[in-house]
Amino acid sequence: MMVVLMESSWMPGNMRRLLLLLLGLLLLQQGRCFEFVIDGEWEDETSHLQDHRERHKRAILTSEEQEDFEAIRGEDITVKSYKVESRITSRFAHTTVRSSVVNSGSKAQSIGFNVQIPKRAFITNFTMNVNGITFVGSVKEKTVARNLYAQARSRGKAAAIVRANSQDMETFKTEVHVPPGSHIEFELHYQEMMHRRLGFYEHSLYLQPGRLVPQFQVDVYIFEPKGITMVQTPSTLGEQFAEMISLTQSKDKAHIVFKPNLQQQRKCDNCTGSAIDGVFTVTYDVNRDSNAGELQVSDGHFVQFFAPSNLSPLPKNIVFVIDVSGSMWGVKMKQTVEAMQAILDDLTIDDHFSIIDFNHNVRCWNEELVPGSSIQIADAKKYIQNIKPNGGTNINEALMRAIQMLLRASNQGLIDPRSVSMIILVSDGDPTVGEIKLSTIQKNVKRVMREEFSLFSLGIGFDVDYDFLERIAMENRGMAQRIYANHDAAEQLRMFYSQVSSPLLRRITIQFPEDSVSDVTQNRFDKYFSGSELVVAGKVLPSDSNTLTSFTTASASRLDMTLETEADTTELDTELAKQQHSFTGFARQMWAYITIKQLLSERSLAPTAVKKRKITQRIMSLAVEHQFVTPLTALLVESEGATERLLADSPRDPKHGCCSGGGLGGGSSINGPGPVRVVYQPPPWVQMTTTAPPSQAEKGPEEWTLPLKVNLVDNDPHFIIHLPRSNMDVCFNIDSKPGHILNLVSDSGTGVVVNGQLIGSKQMHKNKLNTYFGTISVYYQPDGVSVTASTVGIAVTDGRNNHSFTWGATSEITQDGVRISIVKNSHVSITINNDIQVMVLLHRVWKKNPVSVDFLGIYIANDNRYSPLVHGLIGQFSREPEVSVNDIHEGVDPLKKEAIMEVKGNRLHVTRGWQKDYRQDKKRGSNVYCWFVHNSGKGFIDGHYTDYIVPELNSFLQTL
């Protein structure tokens, strides 16, 4: 809780002395409970406070935590207005809280202005106008602010700030003593990044005016350049206010207004108290047109958002480490058992788990990791149910046993090498048995933990060293969370588990071409969890190109991928300038916000005092430049002539820890939480779309391309078969029906099958319904991998795992012997064991076209290495038939010669014409001259075309 106490200069001397005396008594009385910054010492750079001192502070709850909160405090005052406005642009929020108050009583009094803000937010400014004297805030280094403040204090001014520990909020509290009739205007600004949790962003505003307000209004403006998919305003304030919240939404903007009148604010018709008491919540999510993420550039900075979906979860190996010491007795244990019942039910047969419970002793439910079968889960539930808390707390030994269990399973090859291994520690206290020195426990864990393991810490209640739990988690690729020991602790535990229960990717790196960016925030992440988001920001270096490109590499279940994203460096600023309520400086501030949060995490893990001082200086420099109140800076509020000064700063909270920036979006750094300077040479398959070093640009794209001569099917569907020995192309159409699946290549020898499903045009054209390929499937039976390309996207499955990719990003995916290369909105190439290559081309048509539909073309290399068993409408021609064309003569159409073709013992009447190859020019295509075989290729293909209709997309052709 912040407290800013100001004594006004116009007060009589006796009153001033009385107030100072009362203030002194207040500070003296509460000094046991609060860490006062003004009288406190600079944080020790070399070591943390002694463990017992820390524990003593944590054990004391302040009286402030238990008192009722009111936004405006004071007797006989008139609150003229209370207004809150949030502008959220690209997941970054700037919130302003304004209030206008009059002392309508007959005597001087202290009037309070209190604002609860999210713990993860940074205050950026506070201004106050008292009877025409304006106080303006500016963020300064703590030492500078303190020196300036000390000058004011020597003249009888006093101020201090502390933090309150509520579940998600902290309180900024100002009290100003003013004479009767005084008019005061308060204005507080703070900024925060929206974190995506469980599939949406949540913006919370704490509204508790404590009285009726004539002008009460909340406005939330959201602008998301890629579009908004969902906006909701849950009834967190109460059902009676649901109808008073208005929501206006367009494709990329939303405006939420809450403006109850005086009568609507009342608890009852004749009540004078306000019914507004709680959190006003807005949740939303954004449009994602590809798994490659969203890259935004504004104001010389970039932000990359990465939140892929439609991927199969990785298997998990979890050791639950549960504190069952005596302090867990009662509600804490009951809620933990309740949460564990639900958590265990979430495990699947692919997951492995065990449970360790500890007090002064350490016990294992099972010495080995076991599969998440229904029998094992039932047994584990019974074990948890019978736990009786008692005794001390041996955290060190419990964690050592958990790590050894994971190491043993890994060394014995019992777990999938692509699975995710984690320890989830649930504790409510500090170690009292075995190793009790926190720094030694931290070193012990760090020493034996493998790089692929993660530790997640859950601290129940206040009598727990959250700072320690946070450090040990961040240092071991995890994150920490405080669980508040109240009626919904079980739900808090379940919610945390749901955030980490579905890992989709491992070892994610987001990189950029050399010399295109600088000052990049953490860009390597150990894991990505479903429903979360990874965010990387940095500065954009000057360039001749207007395009910035990023490359994201990651590993999924049995699958590796590289995804390319690009952004125009000028487009977004132009768009932001048009938006009335957008936050135009969002990218610059978001970069600073993420950088400071990560530096605070790095600082808490700094191994030496010298390293810590260097990080401290960088944090202070950034915080002053970007005007953030951090644990290392202070907000100095002063009048124009600097005759009146107040100080607001943000000390380290021993109950909560100093920082919360580690592992953004559910991921943790592979090489520590600090910013990593990583540049990237694009892989050879990438077609560069941004300025590259000359040597690279001269080489050009090295992506595999099909040879000049191919067998292809495109348009309605027109087959073109190239016969190398005869040096001729033969064409035929297949006049089949929508829904039919045609076999193109079927090779039971190599285990490869290529099939295509037909779709029809929207309506008949010239009494004929045109058909096209709407879906192409390439199936590789030995690995069970199927790649299905449709006009919507590309799906990859191996029978157990399903992954989906859109046409909206250039990507490369490899799974076992199959490589899939997607070129944005153009084509996908599938290569099997470097022997068989297939390219599927995307054709987009005007959406409102009355006849045509989006469709696919397929291009298959002539030199594919099939087995002798290959067949299919195209595959059969890998054994080139003897073909001769005779009796070439003028036809009915003078531009089209006619002839007799002899092939497979058949004499066919053929016509010389041309079809289109769309590889080089998707719009117009290039002409391929060929001899056209009529009647759906009859006589040229083996059997009848209906022989090639198969029941499923992965079906092999029955022998003809």
The mean pLDDT of the chain is: 83
Percent of the chain residues past pLDDT 70, beyond the cut: 83
Strand 183-193 to 92-103 pairing: antiparallel
pLDDT in tens, 613-625: 999 999 999 999 9
What's the CA dihedral at 495, 499, 500, 504 to 10 degrees?
150
pLDDT band, very low/low/confident/very high, at 49 (cuts 50, 70, 90)? very low
Q: What percent of the chain has pLDDT over 90?
A: 61
pLDDT at 288 over 60: yes
Q: Could you tell me the pLDDT band of residue 639, with boundaries at 50, 70 and 90?
A: confident
Picking from 642, 633, 604, the residue whose alpha carbon sits closest to that of residue 143 is 633
How many whole angstroms separate alpha carbon 518 and alpha carbon 516?
A: 7
The mean pLDDT value for 712-738 works out to 92
- How far does the chain reach from its first CA to its final CA, in angstroms? 81
Length of the chain, please?
A: 960
Looking at residue 534, its amino acid is L
How far apart are alpha carbons 933 and 30 in whole angstroms? 96
For CA atoms 790, 794, 799, 801, give the dihedral sign: negative
Residue 724 to residues 307, 551, 585, 879: CA-CA distances in angstroms?
47, 39, 61, 11
The predicted-structure confidence for 740-751, as pLDDT tens digits, reads as follows 999 999 999 999
Longest dimension (CA), the chain: 123
Q: To 10 degrees, the CA torsion angle through 269, 270, 271, 275? A: 10
Question: Environment class of residue 848 by beta-carbon count within 10 Å: exposed (0-12), middle (13-18) or buried (19+)?
Answer: exposed
Neighbouring C-beta atoms of residue 764, cutoff 10 Å: 11
Q: How far is CA 314 from the centre of its chain?
A: 17
For 545-604, what is each residue's pLDDT tens digit? 999 999 999 999 889 999 999 999 999 999 999 998 999 999 999 999 999 999 998 998
Strands across the sheet containing 77-89: 245-249, 253-258, 215-223, 77-89, 92-103, 183-193, 122-130, 133-141, 633-639, 645-649
Counting Cβ atoms within 10 Å, is residue 209 exposed (0-12), middle (13-18) or buried (19+)? middle
Cβ atoms within 10 A of the Cβ of 102, count?
17
- C-alpha closest to that of 720 among 921, 918, 947: 918
What's residue 112's pLDDT? 84
pLDDT in tens, 675-723: 333 333 333 333 333 333 333 333 333 344 556 689 999 998 899 999 9
List pLDDT tens digits, range 376-426.
999 999 999 999 999 999 999 999 999 999 999 999 988 888 899 999 999
The residues pairing with 188 across neighbouring beta strands, listed in sequence order, are: 97, 126
Task: Report which of 880, 927, 935 is spatially closest to residue 911, judged by C-alpha positions.
Answer: 935
**182 pLDDT above the threshold of 60:** yes
Round to whole Å and give the CA distance between 653 and 163. Answer: 7
**Residues 407, 500, 815, 810, CA torsion sign:** negative
**Position 76 pLDDT exceeds 90:** no
Q: Which residues, other chains included, contact 631 with Cβ-Cβ below 8 Å and sequence gap of 6+?
A: 43, 600, 650, 651, 652, 658, 659
- Report residue 758: phi and psi, to 5°: -90, 145
d(CA 280, CA 260): 13
List 125's β-bridge partners, or say none: 189
Task: Identify the three-state secondary structure at position 340.
Answer: helix
